[in-house]
Amino acid sequence: MSSPDSDPQPVPTLSAVADLAGVSSITVSRVLRLPEKVAPETRARVEAAMRQLGYVPNQIAGALAGARTKSVGVLVPTIANSIFADTVQGLSDELEPLGYAVILAQSRYDAAREDRMLSALLSRRPEAIIMVGSPATEDGARLLRRAGIPVVETWELPPQPIDAVAGFDNYAAGVAVAQHLLAQGRKQFAFIGGDDPRATRRWNGFRETLLQAGVAEPRRLVLERNASGSVAALAELPGVDALFAANDAHAIGFMSGLRKAGLLHDGPASAQPVAVIGLGDLEMGRLIAPSLSTIRVHGDAIGRTAARLVLSREGPRRVDLGFELVLRDSG
């Protein structure tokens, strides 16, 4: 049985915003077009009403009611890291031959920016929204629930998605890495990466599995946005003999620090003073020496599945595409 929040809701109108804010429709329109001409207190009241209602303006001037835009909005954390490239490519390969345009936006791991980008995408009246992850705020979730279009969350497996989800279990990925490193006999563990929700779920699975095994509390080093593991990170984790990085870029950067410190060899995993495992199976990780052990995520399949969930309402709306632990020389 669906919850009230998940039931289809009327798309909020400009007049509804005006009524809630206690102003005229002309004032709301002025806030949207010429905000500098509106008193700050009035503008703040109107903006608060828009957030509460989940209202976004229609940027397609003169469009006929119900007209199809043949566009799909796609929101990713960043295009600076190629980890999401396969997903975008997969969904594009499914949608573009059918005449859909893909409109890409970046949240840059910033919750406020994510809300702004969702609003900007929805203002173009796309026929669907596909996003990496789940909305970071309730305001963002409300926008999507009230948009009246298909919404697909990816790289996640929330128990109650807004509409549909295609992804994998980030917590289980952390469990798998911890179990492998424990089986190697490693003793001192660390995790490096961002503090976004997906990385945090990987950390939780990793940490809880290690603690259940009775080892010392693992250390967590939160890197700034777009930073990679480095010599500096190595200096903050003395004595560590096993490390799980939230993605391959972090792992490769950390391995550079290990190499400079003489703690990385070209031999097999058993010979490594410090085992390193990443996530994403980037090509660079396969080419470096020693090659990087990693969690392989089926990014292309995630993108293709997300596109199919947009195009059809038939079949399951929650698709677990799994992951693989790929073992190479780094750990």
Non-local (6+) Cβ contacts of 45 within 8 A are 21, 22, 23
Return the residue matching tokens 């929204």. Answer: 129
- Whether the link from the prior residue into 290 is cis, omega within 30° of 0, is yes
Quote the CA–CA distance of 26 and 274 in Å, as a whole number: 64
137 backbone dihedrals φ, ψ, rounded to 5° = -130, 160
> Is the domain defined by 1-55 classed in CATH 1.10.8?
no
- Print burial letters for 24-50: b (CB count within 10 Å at least 16), e (below 16): eeebbebbbeeeeebeeebbebbbebb
- pLDDT over 90 (residue 327): yes
- Radius of gyration from C-alpha coordinates of the chain: 23
pLDDT digits (tens, 9 = 90+) for 86-107: 999 999 999 999 989 999 999 9
Tens digits of residue pLDDT in 265-306: 887 888 899 999 999 999 999 999 999 999 999 999 999 999
* End-to-end C-alpha distance for the chain, whole angstroms: 45
**Where residue 227 falls among pLDDT bands split at 50, 70, 90?**
low
Q: Domain 170-297 carries which CATH code?
A: 3.40.50.2300
Domains 1-55 and 170-297 share a fold: no
**What is the biggest distance separating any 2 CA atoms in the chain, rounded to whole angstroms?**
72
The identity of residue 265, as a single letter, is H
pLDDT band for position 118 (cuts 50, 70, 90): very high
User: Is residue 110 helix, strand or coil?
Assistant: coil
| pLDDT at residue 260 is higher than 90 | no
Predicted confidence band of residue 63 (pLDDT cuts 50, 70, 90): very low
Q: Which residues pair with 242 in a beta bridge?
A: 189, 275
Element (H, E) at 144: helix 138-145
Per-residue model confidence (pLDDT) at position 62: 42
The continuous run of DSSP H or E covering 299 comes out as helix 299-311
**What is the pLDDT of the chain when averaged over all its residues?**
89
Can you name the residues that pair with 277 across neighbouring β-strands? Answer: 244, 293
CA distances for 326 relative to 295, 305, 311, angstroms = 6, 23, 32
Provide CB contacts within 8 A for 153, sequence distance 6+: 131, 133, 134, 161, 162, 164, 165, 166, 167
Per domain, the residue ranges of the chain are 1-55, 68-168+298-322, 170-297
Euclidean distance between CA atoms 132 and 109, whole angstroms: 11
Q: How far is CA 234 from the centre of its chain?
A: 26
Per-residue pLDDT for 111 more than 90?
Answer: yes
Residue 133 backbone zone (phi > 0: left; psi -120 to 50: alpha; other: beta) = left
Task: Express each pLDDT in 7-57 by its tens digit.
Answer: 556 678 888 888 999 988 888 888 887 787 789 999 999 989 888 888 877
CATH number at 68-168+298-322: 3.40.50.2300
- Residue 228 makes CB contacts below 8 A (sequence gap 6+) with 249, 250, 252, 253, 254
Q: Is 36 left (phi over 0), alpha (psi -120 to 50) or beta?
A: alpha
Above 70 in pLDDT, residue 228? Answer: no
pLDDT score recorded for residue 244: 98
